[in-house]
Amino acid sequence: MPVPIAGATRIRGYAVALGLALLLACGPAATQPEARPAPAQAQPAAGAAAAAPPARPAETQPATPAALHTVRIAVPGRGVAYLPLVVAEKHGILANYGLDADIRPLRQDAANAALAGGDVDYLTSTFGGVAGNSSGLAQIVVMVMTGRPQHAIMAREPLQSVQELRGKSLVADVRGGILDVMARLALQQADVSPDEVSFVYAGTPESRLGLLLANQVDAGTMDLVSTIKAREQGYHEVLDLGKVISLPLNGLVTTPERIKEHPDEIRALTRAILEGTTYLRAHRDTAVQDIVDWSDVDAALAGELYDLARDSFTLDGRISDAAMKTTIEAQVGYEPGTPIDLQRFVDWSLLPGS
> What pLDDT shows up at residue 255?
96
61-70, 152-161, 256-265, 304-313: which range is least confident on average?
Answer: 61-70
Average pLDDT, the chain: 84
Q: What is the dihedral of CA 101, 103, 109, 114, to 10 degrees?
A: -40
> What pLDDT shows up at residue 248?
93
Q: Model confidence over 230-253: pLDDT tens digits?
A: 999 999 999 999 999 999 989 999
Q: Is it true that 69-148+247-344 and 152-243 share their CATH fold?
A: yes
State the pLDDT confidence band at 346, using cuts at 50, 70 and 90.
very high
Cα(60)–Cα(75) distance, integer angstroms: 44
pLDDT at 139 over 80: yes
Summarize the confidence of residues 3-20 as an average pLDDT: 34
Cα(185)–Cα(326) distance, integer angstroms: 9
State the pLDDT confidence band at 176, using cuts at 50, 70 and 90.
confident
Percent of the chain with pLDDT over 70: 82
Taking the mean position of all CA atoms in its chain, how far away is CA 213? 32
pTM summary value: 0.77
Cα(338)–Cα(159) distance, integer angstroms: 35
> What pLDDT shows up at residue 16?
30
Q: Does 152-243 carry CATH code 3.20.20.140?
A: no
Are 194 and 258 in contact by the 8 Å Cβ rule? The answer is no
> What pLDDT shows up at residue 61?
55
Summarize the confidence of residues 45-68 as an average pLDDT: 54
Domain positions in the chain: 69-148+247-344, 152-243
8-17, 45-54, 56-65: which range is least confident on average?
Answer: 8-17
pLDDT at 302 over 80: yes
Name the CATH superfamily, with its identifier, for domain 69-148+247-344.
Periplasmic binding protein-like II (3.40.190.10)
Are 183 and 175 in contact by the 8 Å Cβ rule? The answer is no
